[in-house]
Each structure stands twice: as structure tokens, then as C-alpha cells.
Amino acid sequence: MLQRYLAGQVSTESVVDLANALEMNERVNVDGPGDVVINNVLFELANPEINGALTEAGAMALIETLQTD
């Protein structure tokens, strides 16, 4: 989704909405020991009022974070 955001295919609001949906959905299982990075990224994306609005630089940093884990 972040790559689609960077390509201009989806809006910031769509990224936030998806992150909120994944973060709140009990059927999405991201509570294992290796899922800390995913949870942190979802939290950052789902809470722009706390973490600031998503930017291109921020999206690239989050992609890098996900790829290095």
C-alpha cells in the first residue's frame, strides 16, 4: 500500500483507513514476537494526529523499516 501511495495510486486517507482497519481487526493476527515492527508501522500510519501526516519521505522510511526486519 505504501508503494501504491508513493506511485500516486492511493491517497493518504486510504492508507490511514487501511491501517486503522488492520489495527482494529481482531482477525488480523499481528501479535507474535516478530510482529513488533508491523504493529509499530500500523500504529504510525493509523494515528496521523499523533505521529504526523504521511509524507513521501515517511512512506519510504516505513518501507525501509519493513524490508530490513
pLDDT tens readout for residues 8-66? 999 999 999 999 998 887 777 777 777 888 888 999 999 999 999 999 999 999 999 99
The type of residue at 59 is A
SS3 8: coil
The Cα 36–Cα 24 span in angstroms is 15
Q: Are 28 and 22 in contact (CB under 8 A)?
A: yes
Q: Are 46 and 29 in contact (CB under 8 A)?
A: no
Rama region for 8: left / alpha / beta (φ>0; ψ in -120 to 50; rest): left
Q: Identify the pLDDT of residue 69.
A: 60
